[in-house]
Amino acid sequence: MLRTALAVFALALGCLGTGCTPTMSEAVLLMNRSAEAIVKQQYSEAERLAREALEQDGKLANAQYDLGVALKHQGRHEEAIEHFQAALALFSPDDETNVAKCLYAVPLVYELAQDPFAASNAWRKYLAFAEQHPSQKASQEIARQRLSQTELRVKPQTPEHP
């Protein structure tokens, strides 16, 4: 996986000139195994591995994200959103790709949870971010369509008349 290759590369860079042998931390290995379990649609295993990775290193943003994905697929929407938001807080604001994936995941989960009001707000938040980043252009149109569909499901709030 790309994350595994990047992790090995980062470790190797850290060892340049020092003569050390790069080794991946157990937490990173668990996180990568979690991502592999997600690809295989083994969501309870992915959850277990991501939680283990986070016990060892709570700052692994991708483990938080993977945990969110695993929970989403198990129908545990509230927990999934918490972990996507935790991942978002851990990714650097300059990490456009990972920030975008977190912001995009949240409204999808709100849709699954049948919460159109929260989904609409989350789609707006994603679009506010995406409109500032040309690389998100393709996803913007999909997000706009989903926002329009979601807003149709939001019941208008009308005051009750006595």
Model pTM?
A: 0.80
Neighbours of 161 (CB within 10 A): 4
What pLDDT is attached to residue 17? 45
Tens of pLDDT, residues 14-57? 444 444 444 579 999 999 999 999 999 999 999 999 999 999 99
Mean pLDDT of 88-105: 97
What pLDDT is attached to residue 105? 98
What pLDDT is attached to residue 154? 80
The mean predicted confidence, pLDDT, of the chain is 87
Q: Cα-Cα-Cα-Cα dihedral of 131, 85, 147, 41, to 10°?
A: 110
Among 60, 61, 62, 66, which Cα is nearest to 48's? 66
The span from the CA of 109 to the CA of 133, in Å, is 23
- In order, the DSSP letters of 141-160 are HHHHHHHHHHHHHSPP----
Cβ atoms of 91 and 98 within 8 Å: the answer is: yes
- pLDDT more than 90, % of the chain: 78
How many helices (H) and strands (E) the chain has is answered by 8, 0
Mean pLDDT of 47-74: 97
Residue 26: its H or E element: helix 26-39
